[in-house]
Structure 1
Amino acid sequence: MTTSPDQPDASAADAWKLMFDFLMKSAPQRLESQQKHGLTPNDSRALFSLDKAGKPVGTLAREWGCDPSTATWLVDRLERAGLAERVPSPDDRRVKLVRVTRRGTETLQDLMAAYQRPPAEMSRLSRDELAALVGILGKLRKDA
C-alpha cells in the first residue's frame, strides 16, 4: 500500500497515537520540574531557545511563532526570573540581544536532567524491548 507523507498508513497513525498518549501521560513529571523553577511550559520552551550569543526579540518571535509583543512579554518574564538578559548587539547599537544568563544555563541543565529521567512505566520494559525502542527512536531522529 502506497501512502503519501500527509496520509500515514494505519500502523504509523497507531504508533504515533500511542507515543503521543505516553508523552501526554508523562507531562505532569515535566510540569513539576518547570514549576520547581517558577516556569510555565511556554517559559521553559522559550528558555530552551536562548543561547549565550543572544538573539533579537524579532528573531525569537519568529522562532516561537508569536508576535513581537508576546515575545517581549516572555523575555520580560525570563529576565525578571534572572534567566535571561538583554545586552546591546556588537553589530548594531540600536538592537538588543536576549541571551541566557548563568542562572538560566543552570536552570536549563536542571530541567534537562529532569526531562531525561524516564517515567516509571518504562521500567516495565525488558532490556530487549528497551533496546528495540532505542533503535527505532534513534532511526526516527536520524531521518528527521
Structure 2
Amino acid sequence: MNRRMDPLTTEVVDLIGTVVARYYQEYDAAAAVHHLTGAQARVLALLSGGPMPMRQIAQRLKCEPSNVTGIVDRLEAQGLAERLADPSDRRVKLAAATAKGRSTAAELRDSLDFAREPLAALSVDERTALRDLLQRMLTPEQD
C-alpha cells in the first residue's frame, strides 16, 4: 500500500527533523567542551537520573549493549560514571553517574541555548500544549 503524506504532515515531519538535527548539533558541541562525544553526553544525561542497567541504556539509545559498555568505560575513565551491582540481582551491573558526572550533565543541559532560547519565546500555555502534543505522539494509542 503506497500512502502519501499530506503537505501539512510533510511540513511537520520536516520541521521535527530540523529541530532534532539542530538539537544534536548543539548537544555534540556542548559535549565537546567537556571532552565528551555526543553519545557519551547522552548516556551521562540518562545516568544523572539514577543508576540504570546497561541493557536499558542500550534500549533507550537504540543501540547495541556492546556500544554502551564502551561508552560507560570511557565515562568511568574520566570519573563521570561508575558500575554498581544491582541490589536486587547481583549478576546485573548498573551504570551510575558520579557526583562529578551529575554536575557535568547539569552543566551540559544548562548550556543548550538552542533548546532554551526558542522555547523561551513561547508562552507557558504554548510550551504546555507543545509538551502535551509531543507526549501524545510518543504514547501508543489505548484501545
TM-score above 0.5, yes or no: yes
Task: For residue 27 of structure 1, report the CA deviation from its aligned partner.
Answer: 5.0
Deviations, residues 37-71 of structure 1 (Å, cap 9, x unaligned): 11111111211211464122222222222222222
Q: Please give the residue correspondences for 1:126-137 in structure 2 after superposition, counting only pairs within 5 Å.
A: 130-131=121-122, 135-137=125-127
Greater Cα radius of gyration, structure 1 or 2:
1
Q: Percent identity?
A: 30
Q: Match of 1:42?
A: 39
Q: CA RMSD in A?
A: 2.9
Runs of 4+ in 1 over 4 A off after TM superposition: 25-28, 134-137
Query: Any conservation in 2 of the 1:52–1:101 contact (CA below 8 Å)?
Result: no
1:138 aligns with 2:135: no
Give the unaligned 5+ runs of structure 1.
1-5
Inter-CA distance 52–136: structure 2 relative to 1 (3 Å threshold)? closer
- Counterpart position of 1:3: none
Q: Residue 14 of structure 2 aligns to which amino acid in structure 1?
A: K
Residue 13 and residue 91 in structure 1: after superposition, are their counterparts in 2 closer, same or farther (change >3 A)?
same
How many residues were matched structurally?
Answer: 130
5+ unaligned residues in a row in structure 2: which ranges? 136-143
Do residues 71 (structure 1) and 61 (structure 2) align? no
Residues 94, 139 of structure 1: alpha-carbon distance in 2 compared, 3 angstrom cutoff:
same
Give the TM-score taking structure 2 as reference length: 0.72
